[in-house]
Amino acid sequence: MNFSYKNNKKGSELRLVLEEAHFDRIFYGKDLKDKLLTIAWNRGPAQQVTIDGVAYTFGEHTILPLMVNQSFEFASPADITAWQFNREFYCIVDHDKEVSCAGFLFYGSAEQLFIALDQKDEEKLALLLRVFLDEFETDDNIQGDMLQMLLKRLIIILTRLARGQFVTGQPLTEDKMDIVRKYNMLVENHYKKEHRVSFYAEKLHRSPKTLANLFAIYNRKSPLMVIRERVLLESKRLLMYTDKSAKEIAYELGFEDAAYFSKFFKQNAGQSPSDFRNSKDPLTRN
């Protein structure tokens, strides 16, 4: 079942996917035009989810937030309940203060978040889901506002759970956590052109050393590693899902030339761009 709300004047859209036999996304292909964030809930047994060519175990009673540009495929899509929405429907950045760091779900960590639910959490989400379904069936002039309010509630619940599960070790104050999150957001917006930590440090009015100390406490990865891993991920996506040459990819990702890009890729991926491309089965692009 697919439920959808659209406001053509605003270009806003919210989708709810339930028990669909076919549910996936190929960003560099058939779904490129759909700039949708996804919150997926596995309501069945543990299954495999493949995200940008990497297989993960998607446990039962687990939530998985997925970025706009991530391609994904579920082994058992019929067990997945998913909310998908675009920036025009609800911008997690613009409304960040309303939902207490909503951006944490998508920008709070450089890792893929799998948020575990206990029985109480599941009951809470099941109740919220029923209210979503009622609102999708109520076609009136405040339907969009009601659905946005429900989505906001969903994000608040999941953000609290995610922060409780993934912020470990020495706790960071809210302002320091905000710096980490904003750094990840800036990298997402600028990684194709800016590969230097100093660029992001300047944007945040902090020194590179201060950022390194914060990430050592929270992320266990250096700020430079976050940039490199994001560039490497996009390199892999372009090699898997497009026919672009190494030279074209190098230019798109801000490298001086193809040779420098190939050296970077081999150092970080353990194989050349051409070997990586040949080792992957291409997904459908139409």
The pLDDT tens digits of the residues spanning 93-105 come to 544 444 444 467 7
- Identify whether the C-beta of residue 120 lies closer than 8 Å to the C-beta of residue 239: no
**Tokens of residue 56, six digits:** 């993960």
The pLDDT tens digits of the residues spanning 186-217 come to 998 899 999 999 999 999 999 999 999 888 87
Count other C-beta atoms under 10 Å from residue 60's C-beta: 14
Torsion, Cα 253 50 160 4, to 10 degrees, reads: 90
- What is the pTM for the complete model shown? 0.81
Residue 107 vs residue 149, higher pLDDT: 149
- Give me the mean pLDDT over the 248-266 stretch: 94
Longest dimension (CA), the chain: 58
* Of 17, 150, 24, residue with least CA distance to 89: 150
Domains of the chain: 2-166 (2.60.120), 174-279 (1.10.10.60)
CA 218, CA 171: separation in Å to the nearest integer?
8
**pLDDT recorded at residue 235:** 94
Count other C-beta atoms under 10 Å from residue 162's C-beta: 21
The pLDDT tens digits of the residues spanning 4-54 come to 999 888 888 999 999 999 999 988 888 888 889 999 999 999 999 999 888
Residue 221 vs residue 109, higher pLDDT: 221
Partner residues linked to 115 by β-bridges: 63
For helices 223-241 and 258-269, the axis angle rounded to 10 degrees is 110
Q: Radius of gyration of the chain from Cα atoms?
A: 20
CB under 8 A, 24+ apart: contacts of 163-171? 163/101, 163/104, 163/108, 165/115, 165/116, 166/108, 166/109, 166/111, 166/113, 167/218, 169/217, 169/218, 170/217
Per-residue DSSP letter, 147: H
**pLDDT recorded at residue 284:** 41
